[in-house]
Structure 1
Amino acid sequence: MFTGIIENIGIITAIEKENSNLNLRLKCDITPELKIDQSLAHNGVCLTVVAIDGLEYTVTAIDETLQKTNLSLLEVGNRVNLERAMKMDARLDGHIVQGHVDQKGVCTSILHKDGSWVFSFEYDPALGNVTIEKGSICINGVSLTVFDAGQHNFSVAIIPYTYEHTGFQEMKKGDVVNLEFDVIGKYIKRLMQPIS
């Protein structure tokens, strides 16, 4: 379980294909604090640390994860938003994030507005996910508040701190992002569906 508050940025140092899996090697400031079998969110995707070597560690993404996320688009040198699992005795500063990406979205515009930024996104509505005005969304692992929610699109406002300490500073129009919709909203939507 995560909160969507980014803790560190990792740099991809190596990518290795292994059958249908992808092994990602990253370097970050928190590597010395990691341990094997630990869960760590990478752009919002919960992955398990499988190896540690000095200041670098390795995680493995399976085919299903690669199909539903933007991890297969990563290249050596890319920056990745990182968050370790939340502690039960800590404040929940973002919102409840599972690290299970629901689908990919696309950045459709970026506007700079008086010291902050407005990022807009589209997603495929056929998968049944929804956003609501002032609801929560997780984009590449970052907990954010939705506005201008439509049937298949929404916007978020990014403050300077978030812009400077996450991958949003490198995002461009047309970039593919990982979306995790609000878990409470997903359960309510499921309960409202007729039982078949």
Structure 2
Amino acid sequence: MTPLTPLAAEPRSAEVTDWTARLGWVGLLLLFVVLAYWLMRQGWKWRASLQSALPELPTAPEDPGGTILSLAGRYHGSTAAGQWLERIVARGLGTRSRAELTLTDAGLEVARPGAADFFVPADRLRGARLDTGIAGKVLTEGGLLVVTWVHGGQLIDSGFRSDRAAEHPAWVTAINSLSTENTTTEGAAR
């Protein structure tokens, strides 16, 4: 019979961390993250080059007329009308930002600190509605004010969210009545 040796009799140390392998894996992970970011940026640039035919955005006139409504909130982006995932990034329309909207007799002025301001003339407004989402942003029912307008022969939906969502229905009514007036006036002039 062989004598039993207690397990504690053999000195044993903890496993040693293989720092070379660990640093290698961390380096590979960082490389993967940088590559993914670079590919996303290239995709954004590619989309902008595809949309480069979009003309420059109009600026507000010197005398925009009387103010109908104003709103402070966020601009969430623009898409091809009716295609809420087809984001438009050309001319700065893909840049999310704070926004101050002013609806006047002349049109819709969008002032965006840190991003390019733009103006939608009243004769280019095609309507407004409440919606739940636009590319990259999904909200509760009626949480997004979507304004449809024409620019460069293309129908565009632009999404806004007021700091006070209770203002949205008044905006829909005002923009729809302004766009209807302009459509009626346009039709009578022909």
Place the TM-score, normalised by the shorter chain, in its bin. Answer: under 0.3
Q: Higher relative contact order at CA 8 Å, sep ≥6: structure 1 or structure 2?
A: 1
Of structures 1 and 2, the larger Rg is shown by 2
User: Please, what TM-score do these two structures have when normalized by structure 2?
Assistant: 0.24
